[in-house]
Amino acid sequence: MKEKYVNQANPNVSVDCVVFGFDGSDLKVLLVQRDLRDNLDIDDDTLVLPGDLINDDEDLDEAASRILKGLTGIKNIFLEQIGAFGSPKRLLKKRDQVWLNAIRILPNARVITIGYFALVNIKNYKTKPAGFAKHVLWQDYNTVEELGFDHNVILNSAISVLRDKLYREPVGFQLLGKEFSLHQLYTLYNEIMGGDIDRRNFRRKMLKTGFLKETENYQEGVPHKPARLYTFAKKKFDNVSKANFKFY
Amino acid sequence: MKEKYVNQANPNVSVDCVVFGFDGSDLKVLLVQRDLRDNLDIDDDTLVLPGDLINDDEDLDEAASRILKGLTGIKNIFLEQIGAFGSPKRLLKKRDQVWLNAIRILPNARVITIGYFALVNIKNYKTKPAGFAKHVLWQDYNTVEELGFDHNVILNSAISVLRDKLYREPVGFQLLGKEFSLHQLYTLYNEIMGGDIDRRNFRRKMLKTGFLKETENYQEGVPHKPARLYTFAKKKFDNVSKANFKFY
DNA sequence: AAACTTAGTGTAAAATTTACACTTTGAAAA
DNA sequence: TTTTCAAAGTGTAAATTTTACACTAAGTTT
């Protein structure tokens, strides 16, 4: 039993983040372009999710925070693990193997990735390249094509976690600014859920959840132009509570 | 940037399974006792979740299946990843460090664990020790005390995933035999959810979901003794469907 | 044979969901 | 400068679902 482990190298463990952002009308994902530095003979403009190998002395969550901090300067945002990914090395795409060899840090071990997903309000932060990233960009979720490694799998997993969460938890607020109109929130839900939600029912139901607090300019009965603004009123959220974010 | 990786050993990656079983009245978890083999001078009867290091050439899911197969002989059961766990090595309990040293396979690297959870019908399978396990036992979930490593964290995570799933997916059937009465299903839900569900509403609601199919002895209007039996009728399950397993 | 438990059906009030209509205000078009 | 239009907001009635109970019949236990 023991002997079998001795001959196999431990896998490299990396953390990759799916960072979703919303610009008011479209759902975006933060992607980076790999930077080969001194191996410039290799032509590789593959896009990947921002990620890095985990450090010896840090928690998994800490690693994810670190990566995000490096690229966006953000601390303390919504960030949650979505799971571990990683097929044996023999299943890697050639392009990715070349890349791994080029950076010489992973000679004979596979890579296992812990995926995280994060929600940020795009307008609040400036992105900047860091680590192995040559460029950082916000890409429209619907236009994302083939990514490096198994990052499409991770992205798909993240979007379904996001949709699922949006149904069940007051999590969409993270994608908007501090103050927002119900119209903005509605647009967000409609975009992400791909649905065709009734505007009026959405409004009533969302207000009834108790997660919205009016800002000072509130005045009953008067239609506003521009729209009335709300903030997210954090209240204790019971997982099994009746707060229900399903909209038909 | 590069240099920083060179000096750190890759972490060991293990897969640990939380296997839930139901014996008709109580929820059980499959635990194992560590076996130190030739290091018998060390007295350690700590209980842990069944797990093993992942092999170089296998998928994460494959590893989980392998472990389960070894301990219970089961293949093809409900098995799902719940996430990755693992704090830096310095946070390990002393007892666990001693154990890791004793088996000599992990000299200076940390351990990262991918947690899985599985649901089985206890009566269908005989368990047997395998790998590093000295004993295998089904322990009452409510009586579980301190486990080795961070396995209590994993177990807690698994139970909340289970409760959550039970609300939203027809997953409880996995814990029962092929044929079961509504009373058995009711007992299961009541036990796991810790709730106090109305028997009559449970019955009606569960039948309405369309996941139950009557067995041949079915006869309308006649109270049965013993109870009428059902099987789980797999039908396409739409995540966003209206099937609702919340019972109050 | 009386008392009790289990299996099953019924029903009515309360709450929620759904599918719409209608008003007011500011901005854009004519 | 009207006229037209879209956005912001409130209302309401039918359909469905949830909740909280009552009741009967068939075995089992005492």
Q: CA nearest B91 in A: which residue?
A: A57
Q: Residue A5: what pLDDT? A: 44
Identify the CA nearest to B95 among candidates B138, B47, B144: B47
Segment A97-121 shows an average pLDDT of: 81
> What's the pLDDT at B233?
86
Q: What is the pLDDT of residue B131?
A: 66
Burial (CB < 10 A; 0-12, 13-18, 19+), residue A151, is buried
The tens digit of pLDDT for each residue in B213-241 reads 888 666 666 666 678 899 998 776 555 44
pLDDT classification of B187: cutoffs 50, 70, 90: very high
Q: Are B62 and B228 in contact (CB under 8 A)?
A: no
Alpha carbons B8 and B110: distance in angstroms, whole number: 10
Does the C-beta of B195 come within 7 A of strand D? no
pLDDT of A94 strictly over 50: yes
- Closest by CA position to A109, among listed B50, B79, B109: B109
Q: How far apart are CA B117 and CA B110, in angstroms?
A: 23
Higher-scoring residue by pLDDT: A209, B195? A209
| Band (A4; pLDDT cuts 50, 70, 90) | very low
Q: How much is the pLDDT for A97?
A: 80
Flag whether pLDDT at B2 surpasses 70: no
Name residues whose C-beta falls within 8 Å of residue A28's C-beta, 6 or more positions apart in sequence. Answer: A20, A21, A22, A122, A138, A139, A140, A141
Phi, psi of B66 (to 5 degrees): -60, -45
pLDDT at residue A149 greater than cutoff 70: yes
Which of B127, B105, B237 is closest to B171 using CA atoms?
A: B237
Who among B6, B88, B160 is closest to A59 (CB)?
Answer: B88
Reply yes or no on whether the pLDDT at B191 is more than 70. yes
Average pLDDT over residues A146-163: 95
State whether residue B187 is helix, strand or coil: helix
**Protein contacts of strand C with Cβ less than 7 Å away:** A 198, 200-201, 204-205, 222-223, 225, 242, 244, 246-248; B 181-183, 200-201, 203-204, 220-221, 223-228
CA atoms within 13 A on the CB side of A138: 16
Quickly state the pLDDT bin for A120 (edges 50, 70, 90): very high
Q: How far is CA B79 from the centre of its chain?
A: 8
The reply to whether B108 touches chain A by the CB within 8 Å rule is no
CA–C1' A248–D15 (A): 15
- For B92-149, write each residue's pLDDT tens digit: 888 788 777 766 565 567 899 999 999 999 888 888 776 666 789 999 999 999 999 9
Q: Among candidates B189, B173, B191, B190, which has minimal Cα distance to B229? A: B173
Q: What are phi and psi of B147, to 5 degrees?
A: -100, 170
Question: In the numeric block, which tokens belong to residue B247?
Answer: 């019972």
Name all domains of chain B by residue range, CATH numbers in brackets: 3-168 (3.90.79.10), 177-232 (1.10.10)
What's the whole-number average pLDDT of chain B?
Answer: 83
Per the rule left: phi > 0, alpha: psi between -120 and 50, beta: everything else, B153 is alpha
Q: Provide the pLDDT for residue A241.
A: 47
Residue among B2, B10, B239 minimizing CB distance to A10: B10
B200 touches strand D (CB under 7 A): yes
Closest residue of A to B161, CA-based?
A: A239
Q: Residue B75: its pLDDT value, please? A: 82
CB B99 within 8 A of CB B141: no
Secondary element (H or E) of residue B215: none
Percent residues over pLDDT 90 in chain A: 46
Q: pLDDT for B38-92, tens place per residue?
A: 555 666 678 999 999 999 899 999 999 999 999 888 887 899 999 999 988 788 8
- In this predicted complex, what is the ipTM? 0.88
Residue A128: per-residue pLDDT: 76
* pLDDT score at A2: 41
* CA-angle at A185, arms to A184 and A188, nearest 5°: 90
Query: Using 50, 70 and 90 to split pLDDT, how confident is the model at A181?
Result: very high
A80 CB contacts (<8 Å, ≥6 apart)? A116, A117, A118, A161
B32: region left, alpha or beta (phi > 0 left; psi from -120 to 50 alpha): beta
Task: Tell me the H-state helices in chain A.
Answer: 3-6, 60-72, 94-102, 151-168, 182-193, 199-208
CA–CA gap between residue A97 and residue A110 (Å, rounded): 10
pLDDT of residue B90: 80
B14 within 8 A of B111, measured Cβ to Cβ: yes
As a whole number of angstroms, the distance between CA A58 and CA A64 comes to 10
The per-residue pLDDT for range A65-80, each reduced to its tens digit, is 999 999 888 887 899 9
Token reading at B221: 């209007």
Asked if the C-beta of B164 comes within 8 angstroms of chain A's C-beta atoms, the answer is: yes
Secondary structure of A220-235 in HEC code, one letter for each residue? CCCCCCCCCEEEECCC
Q: pLDDT category, A3, cuts 50, 70, 90?
A: very low
CB-contacted nucleotides of strand C (7 Å): 6-11, 16-21, 23-27
Per-residue pLDDT reduced to its tens digit, A195-241: 789 999 999 999 988 899 888 666 666 666 678 899 998 776 555 44
Q: DSSP of B40-108, one letter per residue?
A: TTS----EE--EEEPPTTS-HHHHHHHHHHHHH---S-EEEEEEEE---GGGS-HHHHHHHHHTTS-SS
Q: Find the mean pLDDT for residues B201-208.
A: 91
Is residue B190 within 8 A of residue B136, CB to CB? The reply is no
- Top pLDDT among A205 and A99 is at A205
- Whether residue A120 contacts residue A74, with contact meaning beta carbons closer than 8 Å, is answered with yes
pLDDT at position A247: 58
User: Residue A191 corresponds to which tokens in the numbers above?
Assistant: 């975009």
Q: B5 pLDDT exceeds 50?
A: no
- Closest CA to the C1' of D26: that residue is B223
